[in-house]
């Protein structure tokens, strides 16, 4: 076989990482072990029935054909309306590019914001695909630590210290995966200042915006001078319970979106017609949105209540999104060892924090994608495992 390009061969580094715990847990669960899976961020419930019905209806109505590259007009309008609500900035459909999922929108934003050899800044702890997404675009990345002691809110001075002459873009995520931190206005204003001062793009991943718990979701697109330099990543995966449907979008300046339509020409060639129409129904009627947000808020409360009494374990961030970060460093500094021990002894699968970047070392990430009773049971098992360190 001829050599593969370094662009694709370099996307995933070889070697083990935290996902090994998850894959091992999956294997054991499939073999019948009573493992509680708290390792991935996919809902334990199905897509709302009304959305499923809409999709079947649209399929039966014969919507089986190619669609417009940036999305069919009514879908872009529905997405623009959702973006207006998410960002607080009146958004028109010409500022929307529909994509098959938030990850595809993120990939488009990455290609739009930087050339090969340019430099990008991401914040640790980060969503696992961020480094490889930039690697695939041959963009160098610096990782700036958001610290547990700051509730995982990144400090502007640390970000600015990482800016280089070839920096083109900063990527942030609020509400955050994995920390659950919801960025404050102060945090976002600091980041916006840096973007304006150094003429940078800001990619703002807001896929969890409807699940902000008791906090207010603030989009940096709403800050002065930021609409012209912010690319917002959005998705129906989390907000509308549609992870497997692959519907997301990018919001950005009209001229950038116009250029990016060509990227859809050579990559996705548009979204499926029947899916687009089901997505319109889900967006226009907000199918599932309030219920899903309420469910995760209640699960967060259930789990945090259980954690409060655990010796040697504390919580930082964990305000929104679908995750909770437990600081286990008082018990065990090697978070991977903690996660393996928890799987072996108590059959609970979690993600070791260090797989999300250095500043999450000594933590484990809990996904709230299980019903209340299983979350309570898992918390009890974690407490029992923590007790073995006494
Ligand atoms: N961004 C973040 C922070 C995520 O956690 C995820 C999925 O877990 C995505 C983007 C991608 O979501 P999707 O491609 O399902 O829209």
CA dihedral 290, 291, 293, 297 (to 10 degrees): 130
Average pLDDT value for residue range 97-126: 98
Q: How far is the CA of 174 from the centre of ligand 1 (A)?
A: 12
Q: How far is the CA of 102 from the centre of ligand 1 (A)?
A: 5
Q: What is the per-residue pLDDT across 128-143, written as a single tens digit (0 to 9) for each?
A: 999 999 999 999 999 9
pLDDT of res. 390: 79
For a pocket test of ligand 1, which of 127, 356, 369 has the largest count of ligand atoms closer than 8 A to its C-beta? Answer: 127
Name the least confident of 82-86, 233-237, 314-318, 337-341: 314-318
Tokens of 161: 């210290």
CA dihedral 111, 115, 117, 119 (to 10 degrees): -70
Average pLDDT value for residue range 167-182: 97
Ligand 1 atom having least distance to the Cα of 248: 16
C-alpha span between 302 and 39 (Å, rounded):
18
Q: Regarding the domain delimited by 6-47+289-382, which CATH topology (the fold level of the hierarchy) does it fall under?
A: 3.90.1150
**Is the distance from CB of 180 to CB of 317 less than 8 angstroms?**
yes
Q: How far is the CA of 62 from the centre of ligand 1 (A)?
A: 30
Give CATH 3.90.1150.10 domain extents, the chain. 6-47+289-382
**Which residue, by CA, sits nearest to atom 12 of ligand 1?**
102
Average pLDDT value for residue range 329-355: 96
pLDDT category, 68, cuts 50, 70, 90?
very high
Q: How far is the CA of 239 from the centre of ligand 1 (A)?
A: 11
CB-count exposure of residue 305 (10 Å: 0-12, 13-18, 19+):
exposed
pLDDT of res. 13: 65
What residue ranges line ligand 1, CB within 6 angstroms? 41, 101-103, 127, 173, 177, 205, 207, 235, 237, 243, 248
**Which residue, by CA, sits nearest to atom 5 of ligand 1?**
177
**Eight-state DSSP code of residue 324:** E
pTM (predicted TM-score) = 0.97
Strand-pair category, 314-316 with 323-327 = antiparallel
For a pocket test of ligand 1, which of 125, 207, 209, 217 has the largest count of ligand atoms closer than 8 A to its C-beta? Answer: 207
C-alpha span between 62 and 54 (Å, rounded):
13
Q: What is the per-residue pLDDT across 239-267, written as a single tens digit (0 to 9) for each?
A: 999 999 999 999 999 999 999 999 999 99
Name the least confident of 4-18, 119-133, 274-288, 296-310: 4-18
**Is the distance from CB of 220 to CB of 159 less than 8 angstroms?**
no
Q: What is the per-residue pLDDT across 192-236, written as a single tens digit (0 to 9) for each?
A: 999 999 999 999 999 999 999 999 999 999 999 999 999 999 999
Packing angle between helix 273-285 and helix 73-87, nearest 10 degrees? 40
Q: How far is the CA of 250 from the centre of ligand 1 (A)?
A: 13
pLDDT of res. 16: 53
Q: 18 or 77: whose pLDDT is higher?
A: 77
CATH classification of 65-285, choosing from 3.50.50.60, 3.40.50.2300, 3.40.640.10, 1.20.1560.10? 3.40.640.10
Average pLDDT value for residue range 342-361: 95
Q: How far is the CA of 247 from the centre of ligand 1 (A)?
A: 11
**Which residue, by CA, sits nearest to atom 13 of ligand 1?**
102
What values do phi and psi take at 252, rounded to 5? -165, 180
C-alpha span between 264 and 69 (Å, rounded):
6
**Is the distance from CB of 165 to CB of 199 less than 8 angstroms?**
no
Q: What is the per-residue pLDDT across 352-390, written as a single tens digit (0 to 9) for each?
A: 999 999 999 999 999 999 999 999 999 999 999 999 997
Q: What is the per-residue pLDDT across 40-53, written as a single tens digit (0 to 9) for each?
A: 999 999 999 999 99
- The answer to whether residue 279 scores a pLDDT higher than 90 is yes
pLDDT category, 329, cuts 50, 70, 90?
very high
Average pLDDT value for residue range 9-13: 81
ipTM, 2 decimals? 0.99
Q: How far is the CA of 341 from the centre of ligand 1 (A)?
A: 28
C-alpha span between 147 and 314 (Å, rounded):
14
- The answer to whether residue 15 scores a pLDDT higher than 60 is no
For a pocket test of ligand 1, which of 238, 239, 241, 282 has the largest count of ligand atoms closer than 8 A to its C-beta? Answer: 238
Question: How many helices (H) does the chain have, and how many strands (E)?
Answer: 13, 13
Give CATH 3.40.640.10 domain extents, the chain. 65-285
Q: What percentage of the chain reaches a pLDDT higher than 70?
A: 99
pLDDT category, 188, cuts 50, 70, 90?
very high
What values do phi and psi take at 123, rounded to 5? -110, 130
**Eight-state DSSP code of residue 48:** P
How big is the chain by its Cα radius of gyration, in Å?
21
């Amino acid at each position: 076989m001829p050599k593969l390009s370094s662009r694709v061969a370099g996307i995933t580094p070889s070697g083990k990482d935290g996902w090994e715990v998850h894959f091992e847990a999956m294997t054991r669960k499939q073999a019948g072990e009573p493992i509680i899976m708290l390792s991935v961020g996919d809902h334990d419930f199905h897509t709302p029935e009304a959305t499923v019905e809409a999709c079947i209806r649209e399929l039966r109505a014969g919507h089986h054909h190619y669609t417009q590259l940036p999305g069919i007009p009514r879908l872009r309008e529905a997405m623009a309306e959702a973006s207006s609500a998410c960002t607080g900035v009146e958004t028109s459909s010409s500022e929307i590019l529909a994509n098959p999922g938030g990850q595809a929108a993120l990939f488009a934003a990455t290609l739009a914001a930087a050339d090969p050899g340019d430099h990008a800044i991401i914040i640790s702890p980060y969503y696992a695909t961020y480094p490889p997404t930039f690697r695939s675009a041959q963009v160098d990345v610096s990782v700036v630590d958001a610290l547990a002691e700051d509730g995982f809110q990144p400090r502007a001075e640390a970000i600015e210290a990482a800016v280089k002459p070839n920096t083109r873009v900063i990527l942030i995520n609020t509400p955050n995966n994995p920390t659950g931190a919801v960025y404050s206005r102060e945090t976002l204003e600091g980041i916006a200042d840096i973007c304006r001062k150094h003429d940078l793009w800001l990619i703002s991943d807001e896929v969890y915006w409807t699940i902000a718990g008791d906090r207010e979701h603030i989009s940096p697109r709403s800050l002065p001078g930021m609409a012209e330099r912010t690319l917002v990543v959005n998705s129906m995966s989390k907000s509308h319970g549609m992870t497997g449907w692959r519907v997301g979008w990018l919001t950005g300046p009209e001229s950038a979106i116009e250029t990016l339509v060509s990227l859809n020409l050579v990559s996705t060639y548009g979204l499926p017609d029947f899916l687009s129409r089901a997505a319109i129904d889900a967006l226009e009627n907000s199918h599932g949105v309030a219920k899903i947000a309420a469910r995760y808020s209640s699960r967060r409360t259930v789990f945090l209540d259980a954690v409060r009494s655990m010796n040697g374990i504390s919580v930082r961030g964990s305000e929104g999104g679908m995750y909770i970060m437990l600081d286990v460093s008082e018990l065990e500094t090697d978070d991977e060892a903690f996660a393996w021990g928890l799987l072996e002894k108590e059959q609970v699968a979690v993600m070791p924090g260090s797989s999300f970047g250095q500043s999450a070392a000594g933590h484990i990430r809990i996904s709230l994608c299980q019903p209340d009773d299983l979350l309570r049971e898992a918390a009890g098992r974690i407490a029992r495992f923590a007790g073995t360190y006494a």
